[in-house]
């Protein structure tokens, strides 16, 4: 694996395609599983995670398309980054509203083992994907790939926060644990939105 990084100017397209394909599969399952579980369990944290995963899926598709045409289309990549960043900001506002309504008693979150399993899988897979994308962005200088690495890394932190909220809800039936976890994760969504919009080519590690 290390050999793909030895040749200056070499773009490891096959490795990029593989990593982005894995990302698309994983984020598709994450989004579907967490959003369904959020609907069944009335979980703000899963709603936030599922929405974030859906936007991350969009980013992964854009990066894969970018390297399928063997060249960066800067204008299209910048436009896609702005759209994804704007959606993340909108998601953060929506999550805050839902969380506050839940804390005020308008809904009662329930435990969900599907949600817990989805978050646990993301906490294991996403750090590895983020690390691989950072290596590849250093080789290619791709701003889109770097932003996608940031999203995968934040997704891992996000999953741990949401998982804590769900675990507390399941173990001790604490109603406020889930919406508080969603509110704690909201700054990550905002940071991810900023990084996605302002992503720059990576020339480091």
Q: What is the pTM of this model?
A: 0.86
How many domains in the chain? 1
Query: What tens digit of pLDDT does each residue of 73-116 get?
Result: 667 667 777 888 899 999 999 999 999 999 999 889 999 999 99
Q: Does residue 202 lie within any of the structural domains?
A: no
11-15, 126-130, 136-140, 201-205: the lowest-pLDDT one:
201-205
Q: Is residue 5 part of a domain?
A: no
Cα dihedral 181, 36, 85, 81 sign: positive
Tell me, yes or no, whether 6 lies in a domain.
Answer: no
pLDDT, tens digit, 9 for 90 and up, residues 20-36: 999 999 999 999 999 99
Q: Give residue-wise pLDDT tens across range 120-137.
A: 999 999 999 999 999 999
In the block, tokens 């991350």 appear at: 56
How many other C-beta atoms are found inside a 10 Å radius of the C-beta of residue 121?
15
Q: Which two tokens stand for residue 129?
A: 């994907």
DSSP label at residue 71: S
Domain span at residue 168 reads: 11-196
Q: Is residue 114 part of a domain?
A: yes
Inside any domain, residue 204: no
Q: What is the CATH number of the domain that holds 97?
A: 1.20.1510
CA 90 to chain CA mean position, Å: 15
């Amino acid at each position: 694996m290390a050999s793909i990084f030895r040749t200056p100017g070499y773009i490891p397209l096959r490795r990029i395609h593989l990593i982005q394909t894995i990302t698309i599969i994983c984020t598709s399952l994450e989004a579907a599983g967490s959003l369904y579980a959020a609907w069944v369990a009335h979980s703000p944290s899963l709603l936030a995670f599922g929405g974030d995963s859906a936007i991350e899926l969009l980013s992964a598709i854009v990066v894969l398309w970018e390297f399928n045409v063997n060249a960066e289309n800067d204008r299209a990549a910048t436009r896609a980054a702005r759209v994804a960043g704007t959606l993340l900001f909108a998601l953060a506002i929506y999550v805050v509203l839902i969380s506050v309504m839940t804390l005020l008693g308008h809904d009662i979150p329930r435990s969900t083992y599907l949600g817990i399993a989805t978050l646990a899988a993301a906490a294991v897979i996403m750090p590895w994907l983020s690390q691989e994308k950072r290596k590849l962005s250093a080789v290619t200088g791709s701003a889109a790939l770097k932003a996608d690495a940031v999203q995968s890394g934040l997704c891992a932190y996000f999953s741990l926060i949401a998982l804590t909220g769900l675990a507390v809800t399941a173990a001790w039936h604490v109603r406020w644990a889930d919406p508080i976890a969603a509110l704690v994760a909201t700054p990550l969504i905002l940071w991810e939105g900023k990084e996605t919009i302002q992503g720059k080519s990576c020339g480091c590690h």
